[in-house]
Structure 1
Amino acid sequence: MTATGIAAPANSKPRLDISLCAPRGFCAGVDRAVQIVELAIERFGAPVYVRHEIVHNKYVVESLKAKGAVFVEELAEIPDAERERPVIFSAHGVAKSVPAEAQARNMFYLDATCPLVSKVHKEAEIHYRKGREIVLIGHAGHPEVIGTMGQLPEGAVRLVETEDDARTFQPAGDRPLAWITQTTLSVDDTKAIVDILRERFPDIVAPHKDDICYATTNRQEAVKSVAPLVDAMLVVGAPNSSNSQRLREVAERAGCPVAVLVQRASEIPWGTFEGISRLGITAGASAPEVLVEEIIGAFADRYDVNVETVRTAKETTAFNLPRALREQAAE
């Protein structure tokens, strides 16, 4: 029965208010990387090889495969007969040994490294030239961390992952210290680690501008504004996407009772959302908007949805494409 005493239709759906975080989804660096692969296929034909996932999103990777991209983990996997084909380095960046290997193999390569990651690489090189010992705050094994540490000789960059690491870190010598970070970290976690390092080493040199990228920061701030107001938060992104995992963690810490990461609608754990009336949705920086729309559609099949966008920042950043592809893009 309804509040008026009139029986509700048998097929009526429960109401669900969806707060859609903005900004969300693709950042300028991811958008540029995907464009590089698509434009390279248009200009040079298929196949075009890509070293590592161009971005951490299965849907994006599969879509590019269908267009003619071939993904490999190492350059040695590219057949000798295909070495004249273009090879693209992922948005996460690569160690200096990778383009050196490509040159040794006479390969034509395009670098899709996000310019904000390249900025961190340059910072590391400047600190090294100035004789500083470099502390990198990041996650061991992440492609971006591997690429950043690979800009300099082994041992020049020391990795700190946690607050405990920061408390126990011991400099290797008497050189001055400097810190840099992975671009996709939790803003709050990183601040806590930096605070410990600064307390222990007051003269440690900071980046001229925060290394955590604008998109990571903006998406976390949007989640912080929505998470305390909803019953559950759904993050669209891949499990190996650092920035997506951080969004889920940020939602939990901001007071959201339930925070779930899914790649697409088929993974939604419906039992987890049973009984909710308010849902927050966001997407990691490597998740395309089409997947957000797919997930909203899946909820609309089960609920009478009302969608409201909650915007906390406006993004206008855009990055130039490699010179070899600019004419193709202009056409």
Structure 2
Amino acid sequence: MTEQTERPLAEPRPLGEIRSWPRSFADRLTAPLPGVRALARLAREGRLRPSADALREIPDLPLEPGPLPAVDATTVAVTWAGHASWVVRVGGLTILTDPVWSRRILGTPSRVTPVGVRWADLPRIDAVVISHNHYDHLDAPTLKRLPRETPLLLPAGLASWARRRRFTRVTELDWWEAVELPGPAGPVRFDFVPAHHWSKRTLTDTCRSLWGGWVLTAPEGQRVYFAGDSGYGFWFERIGGRYPGIDIAMLPIGAYDPRWMLGPVHTDPEEAVRACQDLGARVMAPMHWSTFLLSAEPPLEPLHRVRAAWEAAGRSRQDLWDLPIGASRVLSPVQLSDPP
């Protein structure tokens, strides 16, 4: 057992705490960032977007907007709005992950599928969790739609960005740190956990803020893991060891081609299934595909590959929540009680 899994969970930190951080988190990288030669190779090969033939798959991308499910304080439900944006209902709270309701983000072609949940149909948002500061995960126009008193839970180094935009309940965390928010059935715990990724928003802020995922734990013990962006690596096993009994793992399966470039920071579908195994999670909910075309794989390829990898791993088909955009699933009591 690793040192990280032997440690008890950290005591929750105060909400809204003002903190100081190192100037750079580059020492947390688990792979070197691409340099000039890699970028030149990428431009030379021209593998930045799917081929014209592959783009014909766009009309077939799964889209089934529906009403949010009815929940109570004991219910866990997830709704995929697209990309890494989820509406998570846990412990009586409604939480948004990496909310991007914009049609277009900086440096990326417009989304190829609409947002799966209309903003007007959202209930009151009790918290927002952000995984890192890339534009397809931290979208200022979307956050501006929220009341400024909405709690924002952020990676270390991002609180000043949010406070400049007049958000008043901002909390930033380091890896393995946690906070709690009160819910109708008791406190819901939010733990910020590592990822194999990086951060950058401007020409001068590479790795100036942290990156990671979130483990949400309900008062009754249900656990939801939101990976944000990550390559495959040792962190998944360590997260699973430290937070046993993860019920749902929301894992990225797209933006992976070419592998020589994107492998260190984006899991492909097979690696995502392996990560789910490492986590010890019962259910896998794929994300980070079919919304923004960020790389060269055909739009539908991640779905076909994750289904094949899940079957090859011998996992139950009902535990792969390969949702269309806009669809929801509710974690049933049977799923909670059965062994993984």
* Rg larger for: 1
Higher helix share: 1
TM-score normalized by the length of structure 2: 0.28
TM-score normalized by the length of structure 1: 0.28
Q: Which of 1 and 2 has higher RCO (CA within 8 Å, sep 6+)?
A: 1
